[in-house]
Amino acid sequence: MSSLTVTGVTKVFPARGDGSRTVAVDDVTLHVPHGSLTAVLGPSGCGKTTLLRLVAGFLAPDAGEIRFDDRVVAGAGRPVPPQTRRVGYVPQEGALFPHLDVAANIAFGLPRDGGRADRVEEMLDLVELPRDFAGRRPHELSGGQQQRVALARALAPSPSVVLLDEPFSSLDASLRESTGRAVARALRAAHATGLLVTHDQSEALSLSDQVAVLRAGRLIQAGSPADVYMAPHDPELARFVGGATSLPGESDAAGTAATCALGRVTLSQPSSADHLVLVVRPDQVVLVADGVPARVDDVSFYGHDAAVRLSLAADGTALVARVTGPSAPSVGDTVQVGVAGAVHAYPAPVHD
């Protein structure tokens, strides 16, 4: 396994009929340390799959460099073809070879000399599938099992980097989480360097060591899941990752607190600007005894918790609060809300 370094990589797709060029990946620089898993997060069409295909070698970058440890695989001279890059690739639907059984699929990339059967069993153990699955055909497996076999197949030749292209998006909700966790465990056990492409922020936050957020081809922020969640780079990212609400606010003289529709809140970092945009995540909005009055517009009850959509009685500002399921109010109730913890703030855009 090696680390993966992407430096200034740009990919432009040529003009189509209407003459528009698409800059799919725009000057992206990213480092994935040895043995860690980085999730590339972004809405569909943001260029995350293109980035993954560039790393795999199915596409060649127009500018920039891709290195596995110190080995340059794209950027200087002819790019290294995919078959000699030694990447493990797990595509969206698993894409097991339908004419081969599980064992032959896993052993597909292994050299023809001995030890294949041992390696197949080792891999089945790694992805937590019973060994007697070796003789099954792909169509006899469930979607989650197919994904695990696809991962085993990718890991069997001990690749430098494992690339996972939305591997869980075709699974239904209950399988998605358990398969995701099993895959992350297997990657850790194999000390694999992984790049996981996803549009699901909870998947990205829960599985990876590092989250890289891509928007319109540009890297917006790369950091630990906690960083990205608690200190997002801009209000838009705060809405995308945490489902946060933005509120206008005025900072006080010291710059450590601000006043807004929810009253006085503490800032997570001191700010020098007077006018601020405050982002309040649903988990920070709490129902209290003496707060700002708000009306309950809608309640989505999930059992263990509930999302409560509120509008403030004073000016109608819409807010979302996440509360424990049993404590959820009813639609039409008037409740008192407050803010728990420090709030992340950005200087407000200047209007003239």
Partner 1 sequence: MVVALLALVPLAYVATYATVIGPVELWQLVVRPRILDLLGHTVALSLSCMAATAALGVGLALLVERTDLPARRLWHGLLVAPLAVPAFVNGYAWVSIAPSVHGFRGAFLVITLSYFPLVYLPVVAALRGLDPALEESAWSLGHSRRRSLATVVLPQLRPALLGGTLLVGLHLLAEFGALSLLRYPTFTTAIYDQYGSTFNGRAATAMAGVLVLLCLLLLLADLRLRGDRHYARVGQGAARRTVPIALGALRWPALLAPVLVTALALGVPSWSLLHWLRVGTSAELPLGELAGAAGTTVTLAAIGALATTAAAVPVVWLAVRHRSRLSTLVERSTYVANALPGIVVGLALVVASLRLVPAVYQTALLLVVAYAILFLPRAVVTVRAGLEQSPVVLDHVAQSLGLTPLQTARRVTLPLIAPSLGAGAALVFLAISTELTATLMLSPIGTSTLATEFWSASSELRYGAAAPYALLLVLISVPATVLLMRQERLAP
In the complex, the residues that contact partner 1 under the rule CB under 8 A are 56-58, 81-89, 91-93, 95, 97-99, 108-109, 150, 153-154, 157, 159, 163
CB of 320 to partner 1, least distance (A): 33
Residue with Cβ nearer partner 1 (16 or 304) = 16
Residue with Cβ nearer partner 1 (99 or 304) = 99
Give the dihedral sign, CA 190/58/65/211: negative
Q: In sequence order, what are the residues at sequence separation of 6 or more whose Cβ sits closer than 8 angstroms to the Cβ of residue 326?
A: none
Residue with Cβ nearer partner 1 (83 or 324) = 83
CB of 13 to partner 1, least distance (A): 15
Rounded Cα–Cα distance for residues 143 and 151 (Å): 13
304: nearest Cα among 321, 287, 288, 328: 328
CB of 88 to partner 1, least distance (A): 7
Helices (H) and strands (E) in the chain, counts: 9, 19
Residue with Cβ nearer partner 1 (161 or 186) = 161
List residues bridging with 265 in a β-sheet: 258
Instruction: Tell me if 294 sits within 8 A of 334, measured CB to CB.
Output: yes
CB of 211 to partner 1, least distance (A): 24
CB of 161 to partner 1, least distance (A): 10
Would strands 194-198 and 37-41 be described as parallel, antiparallel, or unpaired?
A: parallel
CB of 150 to partner 1, least distance (A): 8
Residue with Cβ nearer partner 1 (112 or 304) = 112
Instruction: Tell me if 312 sits within 8 A of 292, measured CB to CB.
Output: yes
Residue with Cβ nearer partner 1 (126 or 222) = 126
Written as one string, the DSSP assignment of 296-322 is: EEEEEE-SSEEEEEEEETTT--EEEEE
